[in-house]
Chain A
Amino acid sequence: MLQISPVEIKRQRKLVIIWSITFMVVFPLLIILGLLMRLNQGEDINLGADTFYTLMTLHGLGMAGLLFTFSFAGLWYLVGTRQAKLNISVGYFVYTLVLIGVIGLAIATLIGKFGPGWYMLYPLPFIGVNWPAWSTGLAIVSLIIMGVAWLSGIIHLVSAMSKEFGGFSNLMGWQYLRKRKEGERDLPPIVMITTISLVPGLCAFLIGAAMLFMYLMQLLEPALHFNPLLMKNMVMFFGHTLVNITLYCCVGWVYALLPEYTGREWKTDKVLVYSWNATFIFILFAYFHHLYMDFAQPSAFQYIGQIVSYSSAIPATAITMFGVISQIYHSKIKWGVIPVCFLIGVAGWAIGGFSAVVDSTIAVNSVLHNTLWVPAHFHTYMLGGVVLFILGLIFYLSHTKEEQEKDKTAKFGFWLFVISIHCFIGMFYSGGLNSIPRRYADYKGIPIVSVHHTGALLAEIAALFIILLLIGLFIMYFAIIIKLSKQKNASLIKSV
């Protein structure tokens, strides 16, 4: 049986706390970019379209990158302190490179005015743009640096687990599908879920890297010309997979941590293995739903997109969500802030997932594609799901089991945050249903008066809720920082 020394655990804990503090600083800054965008769309401030798109690009890339990295860092911590020995210097290597990448991106956008949106859809960054070539170059190089960081982190994590559990096929849970050997070690769900999330992640980063190198070549040699449909497939595969696995990585923590509060084990069995292996396929093929409105895409892909998107609801709800229910039902759980984060996060995932399935219906996508419905659904499971899981993990680091049950401040901040985020997102949904386009710096140029006015009004209301959710967030921060600094003092005394 694996032994992880207390010294090692302490080191890993320090790393994850550094990650947490970084998250707590960067996250509200990126929210403020969102607030500025909504205020601009509400015609309360006037940023100018170039600044708007710069902020939109930094917000999109920044949030997706921040959440993915933190979900990876959370897994790293939970695996590294419980399941397998991880090399801490790889952890710091990832941290440093990601930080360099983020600084590069911030310079490229805020100073260099780089603004093609997170997906920089080919050939947009090269034609008719209002920013200099150096900022495109810097942004691409920064993204490559972050890609290198994540690739090396993922490879280290998966290979360390594979060594510990006797091979890759055991990580996928395939030993459960045959007769198991006497005394064979149980596979913790978090290990299987980590593998099933990170291996598609590996594919996504490789495709993403290939794409970025094509961009770099294009930048150096303007006469080059790539196929725009191929490039769109590549960027959507990359982006969809990244966001999708961010969520699944966090779901991995829920499997690992919720049992500590319900007192019920959550073990791997055949059903879990089948359902997560199916999810593996779904992660890889669902991205086709981003190209429904490209009628030139082969229609087989369009069908696959819808069938896979619909099917992915089956393991997600029947296995994971019912798993959460069977954890909680009649368990006499005490509703401290940590299990509440997890439960409400799963609920946010369910709602965001459902509205994603609605939009992954080709007939519906015809009228919702690239309206505000799209940011609505992914903000639901990113903000209403992933961010709540992250806050749950940070509370797990700062609060003991008893403290999190009693902490009224944390709970108040949490509910203010949750209610405000859903109201903020509700304005996105309402915008989508009212045919308001996404990625519009403002709605003044829309010749249809009702669309223009509805869009601006919803943006203003949303801005109010953003301010409320920031207040809720800072109240939670307050609760976290008090507990963290107490721990720090306590450990200082001990070490003296």
Chain B
Amino acid sequence: MILFINFLTIQTSAAIISFIAGAIVVLVVIYLFYSSSPAEDKVSAKHKVYKMRARYFFALVFCVIAGLIITLGFLPYPQFQSRPDETVSVVGMQWAWKFAPGISDKTPLQMEGGSEITLPSNKLIKFLVTSSDVNHDFAIYNTNGVLVAQTQAMPDYQNALEYKFPEPGDYHILCLEYCGIAHAIMVGTIHVK
């Protein structure tokens, strides 16, 4: 799985698997258009389809269980990961990001910080994310412009997101929860050294 992720982004894997599923649906529809013409009495046709359905059912149950076991091992929630090397406090506000190193002891409104910060690569960083007004969403885009991790920034709550920047460069933060008129220009930058 890890190996797999190194070659393919999650997005690419989702694309491939969804494309295959879509193609199967299209093929089934085409088959149904052509298979409808020879008349067969209802009982024997039903019998054939039901035999197939039984096989499909067991295959699907197997896939669902296997899919759950595999994917539920990769949760973004901090309790499943190791100790962070650095902590950064993040506040979303209408319409900017504030970053401050360490654990902030101020209220989100009072916390001071800029929309840029410099962080080391290959270190586990823990972002403590909250908001001082409405809901926002702290989303990290890597140097190729690929979304790699996110968590909601909800007022009254603090969400801890852990991420290890694999390589130096400028990572961008976009807001992914609609937060008012300037939502689309609420950006931040993380310089990774």
Chain A residues within 8 Å of B, Cβ to Cβ: 49-50, 53, 115-117, 121, 123-124, 127-130, 227-229, 232, 264, 293-296, 299, 302-303, 306-307, 310-311, 313-314, 317-318, 322, 325-326, 328-333, 335, 343-344, 347, 350-351, 354-355, 358-359, 361-364, 366-371, 373, 429, 432-435, 437-451
In the assembled complex, the Cα of A299 lies from the Cα of B76 at a distance in Å of 11
**B50 CB contacts on chain A under 8 angstroms:** 326
Asked whether B187 lies within 8 Å of A446 as measured between CB atoms, the reply is: yes
Give the docked Cα–Cα distance between A270 and B12 (Å).
41
What CA separation (Å) do A335 and B29 show in the bound complex? 12
Instruction: Give the complex CA separation of A343 and B33 in angstroms.
Output: 9
B36 and A310 contacting across the interface, CB-CB below 8 Å:
no
User: Once the chains bind, are B135 and A121 in contact (CB under 8 Å)?
Assistant: yes
CB-CB under 8 A from A294, the residues of chain B are: 151-152, 154, 157, 159
B36 to chain A, nearest CB (A): 5
| B146: A residues at CB distance < 8 A | 367, 435
Contact of A306 among B36, B71, B151, B183 (CB under 8 A): B71
Top 5 closest A-B pairs, CB basis? A445-B185, A330-B40, A435-B147, A326-B49, A363-B74
Q: How far is it, in angstroms, between the C-alpha of A333 and the C-alpha of B40 when the chains are bound?
A: 11
Given contacts A296-B154, A299-B77, A369-B176, contact A329 B42 (CB under 8 A): no
The distance in angstroms between the C-alpha atoms of A95 and B50, with both chains bound, is 42
Please, which residues of chain B bring their CB within 8 A of the CB of A307? Answer: 68
Give the distance to chain A from B172, nearest Cβ to Cβ, in Å: 5
B2 within 8 A of A: no
Q: List 11 A-B contacts (CB under 8 A).
A: A228-B156, A229-B157, A294-B152, A295-B151, A322-B52, A325-B49, A329-B40, A362-B74, A362-B75, A368-B14, A432-B11
Whether A370 contacts B25 by the Cβ 8 Å rule is no
Say yes or no: B18 contacts A443, CB within 8 Å: no
Pair B150/A369 contact, Cβ less than 8 Å: yes
Q: How many A-B residue pairs have CB under 8 A?
A: 244
User: B181 contacts A347, CB within 8 Å?
Assistant: no
Interface of B is mostly: mixed
Residue of A nearest to B53 (CB): A322
Residues of A within 8 A of B77 (CB): 295, 299, 302
Min C-beta distance of B153 to chain A, whole Å: 10
User: Smallest distance from the beta carbon of B59 to chain A beta carbons, Å?
Assistant: 10
A130-B181, A446-B187, A448-B145 known; A314+B68 contact, CB < 8 A: no
Contact indicator B25/A326 (Cβ below 8 Å): no
**Cβ contact within 8 Å between B32 and A343:** yes
- CB-CB under 8 A from B158, the residues of chain A are 296
Cross-chain contact B40 with A293 (CB below 8 angstroms): no
B37, B79, B94, B181: which contacts A50 (Cβ < 8 A)?
B181
Q: Restricting to B153-186, which residues have a CB under 8 Å from any CB of A?
A: 154-161, 172, 174, 176-185
Inter-chain contact B161/A445, CB cutoff 8 Å: no
- Taking CB atoms, residues of chain A closer than 8 Å to B49 are 322, 325-326, 329
Can you add 5 more A-B contacts, CB < 8 Å, to A299-B79, A329-B40, A448-B141? A49-B184, A296-B157, A326-B53, A351-B22, A434-B145
Closest CB of chain A to B85's CB: distance in Å?
A: 20
Contacts of A264 in B (CB 8 A): 42, 46
